[in-house]
Amino acid sequence: MSLSSEVLQWKYENFLVNKNNNFNKKEILEVLSSEEIDLAYETISNWKNYSPTPLILLNKLNKKLKLNKIFYKDESKRFHLKSFKALGGAYAVEKIIKGNDKKVISTATAGNHGRSVAWGAQKNGLECKIFISEFVSESRAEVMRSFGADVIRVKGNYEDSLNECIEQSNKNKWQIVQDVAWKDYTIVPKLTMAGYATMMKEIVDQIKTDQITHIILQAGVGGMAAAMIAGIAGYLDYVPITIVVEPDSAACVLESIKTGKIEKIDIKRESLMGGMSCGEVSLIPWQIIKNSVKYCISLPDDDIGKTMKLLGNASLSNESIIAGENSAPGIISLIASCENEKIKEKLKLTKDSNILLIGCEGDTDEEMYQKLINQK
């Protein structure tokens, strides 16, 4: 498979302009402060085996699209967890247990967040209960068990597993470490977001004199997207065009921005982008996202596998990149936008554009990875 034979076939489902777009650094940092982000970076950068993940130039894709530079933050190299989520859940566990007499940690997850929480619990000698839906693969469950977690499968989707986690945790007095915020539960989600923002600190150090003109951010409940936006507000003295991309079956950010309030999506079909298949934007991220995101794009699953394959066989850059299904959407939306002259012009994608993409995971589900890159 080559880029030249595939690029014209790629597509997105919906494109939305945020009519309320107003990137206000002061308001963003009131939600997640520079001090909170700096503390997370200082803590995480002192963990054993920490090193910044690579920022790779997708030079072959860039040549095809006729942009200036395309940067890809490769989170497949994040510790031994292969995902940016390693920065959030484990950090939250470490911080929340101080002065806390609850010895059992709990969470609900589609996979990568649970892996991070289980790792954090293991590092701190704590028992861990992880709730997963019927759609989470057994191979993902096994990885969480490898960190000593008790994995509990719940009938239904992610929201059902979260509801069960909350009910059982309240009943048994377990400490929930969730990346989703709700009324009276905001401290832990902010800790996970502060951990995620470590990526932006690393990126600022890595890009040196280049200026990012566009950043494309994947969204499930919105935690990573909001954390990166807070990182932009804290670390950059300019504002890139910010684009959020989601599965078309779970475009809760797009639908919420359309109405100006949090909208709950009834997910009829689970996306291959499992970590992004969420029906409702989290409360804290929404406070950041609602005005700072300029454009929203939703995608079908059609192009996920071939994008992963192109990354893996070095068709997009000079090196092979192992990218999971949740790493593909940014690339797909960029290519589809460049192939649509009207959208390309609206997004101001030109020969001077420097694009930042987040490769948020590697082959965190090895069986799924092999299946997708080998599909016809």
Q: In this structure, is the dihedral angle defined by the CA atoms of residues 127, 144, 74 and 222, taken in order, positive or negative?
A: negative
pLDDT tens-place values along the chain, 376 residues long: 445 445 445 667 899 999 999 999 999 999 999 999 999 999 999 999 999 999 999 999 999 999 999 999 999 999 999 999 999 999 999 999 887 767 899 999 988 999 999 999 999 999 999 999 999 999 999 999 999 999 999 999 888 999 999 999 999 999 999 999 988 999 999 999 999 999 999 999 999 889 999 999 999 999 999 999 999 999 999 999 999 999 999 999 999 999 999 999 998 888 888 788 888 999 999 999 999 999 999 999 999 999 999 999 999 999 999 999 999 999 999 999 999 999 999 999 999 999 999 999 999 989 989 999 998 7
Residue reference for tokens 């990885």: 143
Question: Which among 280, 112, 295 has a CA at the least distance from the CA of 196?
Answer: 112
Instruction: Count the neighbouring beta carbons within 10 Å of the beta carbon of residue 35.
Output: 11
In terms of residues, how long is the chain?
Answer: 376
Q: Which residues contact 234 (CB under 8 A, 6 or more apart)?
A: 29, 33, 34, 37, 38, 197, 200
pLDDT for 9: 56
pTM of the full structure = 0.94
pLDDT for 208: 85
Q: Which domains does the chain have, with CATH numbers?
A: 3-83+193-373 (3.40.50.1100), 89-178 (3.40.50.1100)
pLDDT for 1: 44
Q: Round to whole Å and give the CA distance between 14 and 295.
A: 10
